[in-house]
Amino acid sequence: MTTKPYVNPQLAPTNRPPRPVNKKMRLKESGGLASGFMLAPSIIFLAICSVYPFIWIFRYVTFNYDGIPAHTRFTGMRNITTMLADTKFWSSVGTTFEYALWKLIFIIPLALIMAVLLNQKLRGSSFFRGVFFMPTVISSSISGMIFTFIFATGNGILNGILQKLGFIGQPVGWLTDTSVVMAAVIIMSVWAGFGNYMLYFVTGMTSISEDVYESSRIDGANGVQTFFKITLPMLAPVLKVVLMLAITGAFKDYEAIMVLTNGGPGTRTNVMFLYIYNLIFGTGANATRQIGYGALLSLVAAVIVGAVTIVYNIVAQKLDEVV
């Protein structure tokens, strides 16, 4: 016996010609209109707050502009040739890479270690989690101010402690000696930032099933093995995000450095965005606001940060393939 497959009469093909559908109706039926309305506020906001300022920056790249329209003048390629010969800018780029590298070397392992320790079911771990996170909510300029007192040479807290403990005989010029000032800046930035990354790691760890740990314990894995064979691999997605945030964050840091050293002594801690900030606002050592030139450097800095991020993404993808 052959059976005829059931066909829903409502869905069965008919000989009737298809109903003409105009664009308006299609849009209405697909819900495009509603989506458009709902997206409109965000798009408008994005256009005003992100796209327009970006275009605005482009506008002044070839101008000498100090914020006063009467002083504006077209300078053609001069900003670009100035940039190519601007040793102070390129030195600030180098300083930024140095700062970012040292910061990442210390902040990520520290945040991870603290997260692992605080993820243990120990008494007071919530309290310490709060304590370590606290610097993150303090404004960068306040952090800079606090560390000015800590790192002061003559009456600084750190030198006082180190001298009392007998580690140093003479006070160290944390903020005045070019050989140690970068260490001071790194200490401050690690203190101010690691709590945030630690929290990401703690959140990532809580999502790892307890069953996995229990199985590893049954198999006789010790703490180190558990960390490297279970915790770390399972944290990989979080680690990737944290690394990405840490890299972009380190390259963009400048506020606390501005308060702590203002790029000095000399230009030893003059990071890229601090140099650009001072150019645009005519602050620091700059006699006049250089908005046009600063706009060009902002674009170059964005390209540098973007390039670093792309390189990181490629490396991360390759690592994924290997692992």
Residue 186 or 259 with smaller CB distance to another protein: 259
Angle between helices 181-206 and 87-119 (to 10 degrees): 40
Q: How far apart are CA 153 and CA 172, in angstroms?
A: 6
- Closest separation in Å from C-beta 143 to another protein: 16
d(CA 151, CA 15): 86
Residues 6+ apart with CB under 8 A from 17: none
DSSP bridge pairs for 73:
64
* Site track for another protein across 176-195, x = CB under 8 A: x-x-----------------
Reported as type and span, the H/E element at residue 64 is strand 63-64
* Closer of 129 and 289 to another protein (Cβ): 289
Q: Which is nearer to another protein, 82 or 226 (CB)?
A: 82
Q: Which is nearer to another protein, 75 or 125 (CB)?
A: 75
Shortest Cβ 187–another protein spacing (Å) = 17
What region, left, alpha or beta, does residue 266 occupy, with left being phi > 0 and alpha being psi -120 to 50 degrees?
left
Q: Least Å distance between CB 222 and another protein? A: 49
DSSP string, 119-153: HS--TTHHHHHHHHHHHHHS-HHHHHHHHHHHH-T
Contact at 8 Å (CB) between 216 and 229? yes
Residue 187's beta-bridge partner residues? none
C-beta closer to another protein: residue 73 or 217: 73
d(C-alpha 174, C-alpha 161), whole Å: 14
- Residues in the interface with another protein (CB under 8 A) total 37
* Cα 48 from Cα 21, distance rounded (Å): 36
From the centroid of its chain, how far is CA 194? 12
Q: Find the binding residues for another protein in span 267-306 (CB under 8 A).
A: 267, 281-290, 293
SS3 73: strand
Residue indicated by tokens 């990989």: 236
Segment lying near another protein (by CB under 8 A), choices 33-41, 90-98, 167-175, 250-258: 167-175
In the complex, minimum distance from the CB of residue 43 to another protein, in angstroms, rounded to a whole number: 24
Applying CB under 8 A, does 73 fall inside the site for another protein?
yes
- 44/157 Cα distance (integer angstroms): 50
Q: State the minimum distance, in angstroms, from the CB of residue 45 to another protein.
A: 18
Nearer to another protein, 130 or 266 (CB): 266
x/- site string to another protein, residues 236 to 265, per CB under 8 A?
A: --------------------------x-xx
Asked whether position 173 contacts another protein by CB under 8 A, the answer is yes
Site string for another protein, 134-163 (x = CB under 8 A): --------------x---xxxxx-------
The only residue of 88, 217, 229, 318 in contact with another protein, by rule CB under 8 A: 88
Residue 126 or 141 having the CB closest to another protein: 141
Q: Nearer Cβ to another protein, position 82 or 309?
A: 82
Residue 225 in the binding site for another protein (CB under 8 A): no
Asked if 266 contacts 181 with a C-beta cutoff of 8 angstroms, the reply is no
Q: Which residues bind another protein (CB under 8 A)?
A: 64, 66-71, 73, 82, 88, 148, 152-156, 171, 173, 175-176, 178, 262, 264-267, 281-290, 293
